[in-house]
Structure 1
Amino acid sequence: MNGAFDVIIVGTGAGGGTLARHLASSGKRILLLERGDWLPREPQNWSTADVFVDNRYISPDTWVDGKGKTFQPQVHYFVGGATKLYGAALYRMRAEDFGLLRHMDGISPAWPIDYADMEPYYTAAEQMYQVHGARGEDPTEPPASGPYPFPAVSHEPRIQQLHDDLARAGYHPFHAPCGIMLNEANMPYSACVRCPTCDGFPCLVHAKSDAEVLGVRPALEHSNVTLLTNAEAVKLETNAAGTAVTTVVVEHDGHEERYEGHLIVVSAGAANSAKLLLRSANDKHPNGLANSSDQVGRNYMFHDSQAVLALSKEPNPTVFQKTLGINDFYFSGPDFDYPMGNIQMIGKSQAAMFRGEKPIETKLAPTWALRDVATHAVDFWLSTEDLPRAENRVTVDKDGRVNLAYTPSNPSAAKQLYHQLKSMLGSLGMHPEHLVHRFAYMKSDIPIAGVAHQAGTCRFGRDPATSVLDTDCRAHELDNLYVVDTSFFPSISAVNPALTAMANAIRVGDHLLQRLAATATGAKKAGPAANGSR
């Protein structure tokens, strides 16, 4: 790896992995830096106890909250980033989400670009990640220039019954957009029937549309792309004038290495991207790179999400439960004139999950009782927009640890959405009095430990005084520094952010190709073994 690279990408998740694939065929020399390693394909991938009780794939890192208490964030450092364990629910933001929205507890600010600017890239991202869905079912669905590339994943019988019950009650249930790769018969791989669910688990058979399988691996088929794993970027160094980044300092397998690049793209996740910029302070940038506005690390958002379990009056043997969504209350609801959010399904409850999620409460519970609860469980994910607040922020302490100060920003809407769902259960074949909260992906009782949808710490905008990045996601103050993970979000909407990060990475990729005077066509391909792909 001698000499300078044309592009260095820090992070291989939804932003970095997608960008790498989009740039790969340009022929330009690209270096991918991944803090973690390849996630091993092993039987434990599908073990509920290993994933939910033992936290096998959670980083041992500790962060510090606003009160000085340490906690273990639910982050995953692997090739493919957080997408290795996400649920692959690939939603577009609503068109209105790009404008200013008034909530009961505050304002969701407008983006500096419109939905129309992002739409072609949403289409490209849906193609790249093989999204399955159905246009026209969701009343809040934004305009699209074409159909989904693949038909919607069919509901299993109990979820189809829920869909029909919702429709009869006057609601508008729809097939959730899913990133899952099906076989030639348009059915899940036969091995998938043994998987507890895509949600929160790695996929042993690579049937999940994640950034490793559909981003990094295709990129590595090109001989001009190099991946370095177990390589954490710890500092960015600039030229003497402080106008451009020259070097990425990396801790690789216990020793320091330095890499020079023409264009530097940071995509380490909202908290860690902010951490990297803050740790890179120098004489020209005493408060951290790109931070003369004091906005780096601020406006941290991660959705006000609630995982709730309802007990069905009849068994729910569903395996793949994440096929249904409801947006009837996205912008308002009965007796509530403000946005409430999105309801979708979460991965199906398993008895072992309860041991991991609520160890104290379930310590004395017999396993048969937990299995009975899981058998009748129908699991919902309620997502309310988290509003940006300057005081919700990432800082870095003297030991280099992330400090995360956070106060919930939109509790009224979250509470209203919960009660809305509860009020509906009686007509949906479920017990309203048995709607209970799940911790979903976190054992910790610290709410901020669940950082799956983190965003906002390097917001983009047109005014350098109030934003970190311009509309191309380039730092206002450094000519060659870009950020393409969800850090750039000025607001987070109420739907899963992954597809927006993927679409934006393609959008920024087109801009980078213009800067590099290249087109993404025709580069000679090499086999995966040439780059160490497994």
Structure 2
Amino acid sequence: MTPSTPRSVDRPTCDHYDVVIVGSGMGGGTLAHGLKDSGLTVLLVERGGFLPQETENWDPQAVFVDGRYKNAEQWYDASNGTPFHPGTYYYVGGNTKFYGASLVRFRREDFQHTDLAEGPSPAWPVDYDDFAPHYAAAERLYRVHGDLDDPTLARTEPYPFPALEHEDAIARAARGLRDIGLTPSHLSLGVDLRQGGACIKCATCDGFPCRVLAKGDADVCGVRPAVASGAVELLTGAYVARVTTNSAGDRVTGIEYRAGEQTHTVSANSVVVSCGAVNSAALLLRSATDRHPAGLANSSDQVGRNYMVHNNSIMVAINPLRRNKATFQKTLYVNDYYRKGTEDHPYPLGHVQLIGKLQGAMIKGQRPHLPMWALNAATRRSIDWWLFSEDLPDPANRVTLRADGAIQVAWTPNNLATHRVLVREMRRLLRKLGYPIVISESPGIEVNSHQAGTVRAGMDPTSSVLDPDCRAHDVENLFVVDSAFFPSLPVMNPALTIAANALRVAPVIAQTARRSASAGARPAR
């Protein structure tokens, strides 16, 4: 059953809420769901609106060439001042409206210190066992289908729903990988393939919005049930300019937002920032006061620093004599190099998974000089992979604000030698599988779908911004609940960990909102 579009408001119905959440993506949307039964009044604020359900949702030309749904402002590359259009979307549900629904758990060792080729990947202030029950809850919420066929998994309990079966071309690739000694596994996916579910296993899932709302995104699975409960109010079309504080600067008091040409304020017992790693850092920096001159909650000078995205490469393997007739290609991944390297590079290399089936129009923007017939001919004969290796938190990789308030990103990739080895190994393996043409390309600064780390959590207030519960060290009733809190970025898709974390800290946020009432805010319900 397709969920109906919930009612949103263009002005809050109250001037005070127990909790205000800024951002409705995987962090904020899941948190709203986690608070809907708390008895608190919750305002969920989104700068965009609902993404329309329309024919163009599944049109590669409209989505990838015409950029029909791109609505983010320009950001700037700090190295040269060049503007770029980030892979960020402002809609209810945030970037999950376009993600590939890969909902995988981080592994137990991902929360621990790990030595990589270019330095240590730091331990988290929480461990896998802290997350395990919330991973399970998030998997139920987002309708995750999976299989226990990967030996790196830390879990033993079954997935909520069985894994998606490989289509013939993918099953053939899986057999080939097993024959050369690898362990191909079924990818954990959040799609609605329940009995009577809406998913039709189309070719337009990864990178497209879902026209039938069958993708497990934060809008459909998080926001809509939260708003339908009556406990959560959704404000759309509202750009939050700053988080406001009391005169002492030790408590947040609410938010200031713009709707059209008008500026408004809303007060709250607690404020949660869930705008995505870049925008969350930017909002804290914009919220500077005389008590917080370097940005709100930034006494450590870590807000905006340690920006991470995975070292990514897309790898297209082509056999000119073999058509790939798979429609829903993204069902397989390989973790054989997740925690091991090679004889000449004895460090963990990373993770490899299939992506949604490429079509010619999807890569026309990157190859504008090639005719569409050639792109279509190649993609009909390709199997398409995404390779990613861990990058390391570096204080010099950071988000700042320009004098005009625009977002600026300084990013120099690291751990690249490791990624080059992963690319080399996968190229060799795919040729063994019968694909003589293997093309790979790494994206630039504009591809930031796995952004993380800019408001890192830790035990030490001098080197981190948040405590293990995602509460600001400097401000008791301020939380940041998205991938900004990650101390490291393990080489798996981060979405499920963001969702699990939101469910993990929801009770702490509810308790803080109630406690804030006794500290001078209005009473919590």
- TM-score bracket for this pair, using the shorter chain length: over 0.9
Matched, 1:491 2:499: no
Q: Name 1:78's counterpart in structure 2.
A: 91
Q: Counterpart in 1 of 2:360?
A: 351
Please say if residues 389 and 418 of structure 2, whose CA atoms lie closer than 8 Å, have aligned partners that are also in contact: yes
Give the structure-1-normalised TM-score: 0.91
Q: Identify the match of residue 391 of structure 1 among 388, 396, 414.
A: 396
Cα distance, 1:224 vs structure 2: 2.3
Letter aligned with residue 320 of structure 1: F
Distance 1:394 1:328 in 2: 34
Residue type matched to 2:151 in 1?
Answer: P
Inter-partner Cα distance in structure 2 for 1:307 and 1:425 = 13
Q: Residue type matched to 1:478 in 2?
A: V
Residue number in structure 2 paired with 1:20: 32
Aligned equivalent of 1:452, options 439, 449, 458: 449
Number of corresponding residues: 500
- Give the residue type in structure 2 aligned to 1:411: L
Counterpart residue type for residue 95 of structure 1: R
Please show how residues 63-142 of structure 1 align to structure 2 within 5 Å: 63-66=75-78, 67-135=80-148, 137-142=149-154
Which whole-Å CA distance do the structure 1 matches of 2:246 and 2:426 have between them? Answer: 55
Q: What displacement does 1:314 show? A: 1.3
Of the candidates 172, 189, 206, which is equivalent to residue 199 of structure 2?
189
Q: Paired residue for 2:218? A: 211
Give, in whole Å, the separation in 2 of the partners of 1:123 and 1:405: 36
CA distances 1:355-376 after superposition (whole Å, capped 9, x unpaired): 12222x32xx2x3322211110
Per-residue Cα deviation, 1:105-140 (whole angstroms, up to 9, x for no partner): 1211110111111111111111111100011x1121
Match of 1:2 among 9, 14, 39: 14
Q: Look up the equivalent residue of 1:489 and give its one-letter code.
A: F
Match of 1:152 in 2: 163
Task: Please say if residues 341 and 382 of structure 1, whose CA atoms lie closer than 8 Å, have aligned partners that are also in contact.
Answer: yes
CA RMSD of aligned residues (A): 1.5
SS in 1 for 2:465: coil
2:296 to 289, 305, 326: 289
Structure 2 distance, partners of 1:483, 1:112, is: 15
| Aligned residue in 1 for 2:51 | 39
- Partner Cα separation in structure 2 for residue 494 and residue 3 of structure 1: 42
Partner Cα distance (1:189, 1:78) in 2: 21
Q: 1:28 to 1:185 in 2, by over 3 A?
A: closer
Counterpart contact for 2:307–2:399, Cα < 8 Å: yes
Contact 2:161 2:194 in 1 (8 A): no
Q: Deviations over 1:334-361 (max 9, x none)?
A: 31210110000011110112212222x3
Q: Which runs of 5+ in 1 are unaligned?
A: 519-534
Conserved 8 A contact 1:237-1:249: yes
2:423 equivalent in structure 1: 418
* Residue equivalent to 2:64: 52
* 1:305-454 superposed matches below 5 A: 305-312=312-319, 313-335=321-343, 336-359=345-368, 361-362=369-370, 365=371, 367-431=372-436, 434-438=437-441, 447-454=444-451
Q: Is the 8 A contact 2:169 2:325 kept in 1?
A: yes
Asked if the contact 1:59/1:74 (under 8 Å) is kept, the reply is no
Shift of 1:230: 0.8
In 1, Cα distance between equivalents of 2:425 and 2:374: 28
Shifted more, 235-244 versus 252-261: the winner is 252-261
Residue identity opposite 2:168 in structure 1: P
How far, CA to CA, are the matches of 1:514 and 1:286 in structure 2?
Answer: 29
- For 1:485 and 1:418, how far apart are their aligned partners in 2? 29
Structure 1 distance, partners of 2:199, 2:251, is: 47
* Cα distance in structure 2, aligned partners of 1:354 and 1:507: 39
Secondary structure at 1:449 match in 2: coil
Deviation at 1:517, TM superposition (A): 5.9
Contact kept, 8 Å, 2:191 with 2:199, in 1: the verdict is no
User: Would you say the 8 A contact 1:460–1:470 is kept in 2?
Assistant: yes
Q: 1:246-257 residue pairs with structure 2 within 5 A? A: 246-257=253-264
Match of 1:524 in 2: none
1:226 aligns with 2:238: no
SS in 2 for 1:17: helix
**Alignment correspondent of 2:4:** none
The Cα of 1:438 is off from its aligned counterpart by 4.9
Residue among 463, 475, 478 paired with 1:466: 463
Distance 1:169 1:438 in 2: 25
In the TM superposition, what is the alpha-carbon distance from 1:167 to its structure 2 partner?
1.0
CA distance in 2, matches of 1:153, 1:473: 34
Report if aligned partners of 2:309, 2:391 keep a CA contact under 8 Å in 1. yes
- My pick for the range that moved more, 448-457 or 218-227, is 218-227
SS in 1 for 2:154: coil
Contact 1:293 1:468 in 2 (8 A): yes
- Residue 60 to residue 14, structure 1, CA distance change in 2 (3 Å): closer
Once the 2 structures are TM-superposed, how far is the Cα of residue 399 of structure 1 from its aligned partner? 1.2
Which AA in structure 1 matches 2:280? S
1:183 Cα deviation after fit: 4.5
